[in-house]
Chain A
């Protein structure tokens, strides 16, 4: 907005999409900081909640799935997954990031309706800020994960760390794209946020977070397994497994075939396509935000 020269006539209210977000990085920073300050206002534990909630979630899943349902490898259960706790947690943190980012981004436009109705600013800022806030909340969980990995004997190489970055990027882009799409749709149909809640529940189970990808391959066969693999979240979770869990095992566990040659580029491409679609839909719909909110 500040780039307008005073000598030309311009049409107000026509943004240039996500490019505007980069230009308003100062505002984006303040919006993210505001969310972080406001999130845990008035609570005793404050930011600690960002550790407590995933911690409890992890314990519940670990006991129920790892111990009771026997996914964890133990002397009595040699077919289970080695270091199931690390396996589980590395997937959970990524899914949590995605859930929080998309859930908040989908509500961000309606929640900031008061502002959007009165002042023109690049509205893409709100979903993007939601994703950033989730990224900040992701960080403490990552610290816990790394601590757990180190205890389990984690010695990653450079390539494996790069895989984690790629996984995070794929999932972050996907959340941004879907956040733009559902955030804009939510202005017109409030059903959209319920749809997102449902989608998030499915997303948790549609990726190999709790179970191993090999189980899916056995049941689905190669055709449907390829469909399952094309899900960017699945690819992100597998990349996280490769980065955090795989280096703590003896290396005998199988990684999905063609993870780097095929699926990583596929995940990136799908995510970028979703961002493009989200951006396109957002721009089609944003002209009437002020009157519909």
Chain B
């Protein structure tokens, strides 16, 4: 098996910026750069992770441990300060479903817009449109503006677009709590189906029971460091202890 994702030795520092205006920056320069203009903290420290094609991996950790930051580096939203990230094939993030939705557009328009944002071509969206609508169970409301949707409908449609983008690597950030119980089960079935088809999955979730059902491997992060990398059950046990 080849590697789908190679994260080598990346570090990321965040600047907790104090200033937001040119004026303050100029004053700081004139005063001879006294004091630090900004505070910094390490979100990720020398993280190295290799994920093989077809693996299902959960990123675990408490809030602020760097899980989502790592996911953003894999998707390319962020670039590391040092180290490198490489991916194979198309990567799609189910990162906060509905980020590309616009409330004033109809469900149909949003399917097209969101599909394109997630990297689908015009033909792909057209071909999969019926499947997307069917999976989302939106039915006749597809031509209604999404601002009139219930939050469950909204998430269902967004999730449906995302799972139909068909990339090689799926990044899933805390979105498995979609809709009601039956739909949630449907989503999890879909994700397991993707895993069976040999897609690479990287999941961030606080629902430990759920991730231990979906994933085989767990990576436990703590303060931006990899604390444990191994079987999901050990990782969950370690986090719970």
Which A residues are within 8 Å of any B CB, using their own CB?
Answer: 1-2, 4-14, 24, 26-27, 30-31, 33-34, 37-38, 41, 114-121, 189-191, 287-288, 290-292
Contacts and interface: CB of A to CB of B under 8 A. Distances in A.
Interface in B102-116: 102, 104-105, 109, 112-113, 116
Contacts of A119: 75, 77, 93, 95, 99-100, 117-118
Contacts of A41: 104
Given A34-B102, A120-B77, A4 B121 contact: no
Per CB-CB distance, the 4 closest pairs between chain A and chain B, nearest first, are A12-B76, A13-B76, A120-B76, A6-B89
Contact of B117 (A2, A13, A115): A115
A117 B77 contact: yes
Given A11-B84, A288-B79, A292-B17, 4 more contacts: A9-B87, A30-B113, A37-B104, A115-B100
For B88, B93, B120, the residue with the greatest tally of chain A CB atoms inside 10 Å of its CB is: B88
B102 A38 contact: yes
A191 B22 contact: yes
A37 B78 contact: no
B87 A26 contact: no
A38 to B, nearest CB: 5
A26 B116 contact: yes
B140 interface: no
Interface residues of B, number: 45
Nearest to A190: B20
B186 interface: no
Contacts of B117: 27, 115, 119, 121
Contacts of B77: 13, 116-120, 290
B105 A26 contact: no
For B6, B23, B79, B86, the residue with the greatest tally of chain A CB atoms inside 10 Å of its CB is: B79
A9 B117 CA distance: 22
Contact of B99 (A14, A27, A114, A288): A114
Contacts of A27: 116-117
Contacts of A5: 89
Given A11-B85, A115-B100, A189 B79 contact: no
A118 B79 contact: no
Contact of B90 (A1, A26, A38): A1
A31 B22 CA distance: 31
